[in-house]
């Protein structure tokens, strides 16, 4: 499997992981099962500042900006993260020898995160229904490493509750469209290139380029 400290996966999340690790130590060191909101907030703000504020606030979405503030945004960012994660696992493995990770592992980890941490109850229930009933995660669908990338792509595209333009559109990937249908091979190659190239948006750097 891909190591949890693999520097190629979500490299810039390290400071956030250090904050979470510190919070875990705080909870493990408590003799009581209860912690006050004030103590938790104060500790979090102190640790977050120590590690350089890895959690952004009051920022605008770039790739995921919608026509209005209530559209896209966070959920789009999550989907982009999930797609980028699976793409980078495949790319990383292609550069190294060894046993390929279980392709269901990353998908189950994503599913577990949504179950435990996604704050939108309606969104969480919808995601779980989609991945367990509408389009179940299973070894029949996901048995090769590239299948996990294609599974998320299909799940995102077929979402019946939120109809959308199919991705990728023709102008982004003409080769992906063949005879009114998606070419699986061309789409897979496009997704690996597209989501494997996702990089953090740096406001100062982009301002300097203008």
Whether pTM > 0.85 for this model: the answer is no
Q: What angle do CA 82, 88, 94 make, to 5 degrees?
A: 145
Q: Which DSSP state fits 134?
A: I
Instruction: Give, for 121, the enclosing helix (H) or strand (E).
Output: helix 121-129
Mark whether 109 and 34 lie in a shared domain.
no
Structure tokens at 62: 């770039």
Of 120-124, 149-153, 202-206, where does mean pLDDT reach its minimum? 202-206
Gap between the Cα atoms of 107 and 1, Å rounded: 13
Asked if residue 68 belongs to a domain, the reply is: no
> What digits encode the pLDDT tens for the residues 22-62?
999 999 998 888 899 999 999 999 999 998 888 777 667 66
Asked if residue 58 belongs to a domain, the reply is: no
The domain total for the chain is: 2
Segments forming the whole domain that contains residue 170? 74-195
Asked if residue 176 belongs to a domain, the reply is: yes
Burial class (CB in 10 A: 0-12, 13-18, 19+), 177: middle
Structure tokens at 188: 């897979």
Mark whether 134 and 40 lie in a shared domain.
no
Mark whether 41 and 79 lie in a shared domain.
no
Task: Residue 180: give its domain's CATH number.
Answer: 1.20.120.310
Q: What are residue 178's phi and psi, to 5 degrees?
A: -135, 110
For the chain, how far is it from start to end, CA to CA, in angstroms? 41
């Amino acid at each position: 499997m891909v190591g949890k400290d693999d520097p190629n996966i979500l490299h810039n999340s390290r400071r956030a992981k250090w904050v979470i690790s510190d919070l875990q130590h705080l909870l493990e060191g408590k003799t009581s099962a209860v912690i006050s909101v004030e103590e938790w907030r104060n500790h979090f703000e102190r640790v977050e500042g120590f590690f350089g504020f890895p959690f952004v606030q009051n920022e605008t979405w770039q790739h995921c900006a919608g026509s209005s503030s209530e559209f896209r945004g966070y959920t789009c960012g999550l989907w982009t993260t999930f797609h980028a994660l699976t793409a980078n696992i495949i790319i990383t493995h292609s550069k190294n020898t060894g046993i390929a990770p279980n392709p269901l592992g990353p998908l189950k980890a994503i599913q577990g995160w949504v179950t435990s941490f996604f704050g939108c109850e309606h969104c969480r229930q919808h995601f779980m229904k989609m991945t367990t009933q509408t389009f179940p995660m299973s070894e029949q669908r996901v048995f090769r490493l590239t299948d996990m990338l294609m599974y998320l792509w299909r799940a995102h595209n077929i979402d019946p509750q939120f109809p959308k333009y199919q991705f990728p559109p023709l102008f982004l990937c003409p080769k992906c469209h063949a005879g009114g249908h998606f070419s699986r091979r061309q789409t897979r190659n496009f997704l690996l290139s597209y989501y494997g190239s996702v990089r953090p948006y740096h406001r100062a750097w982009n301002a300097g380029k203008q």
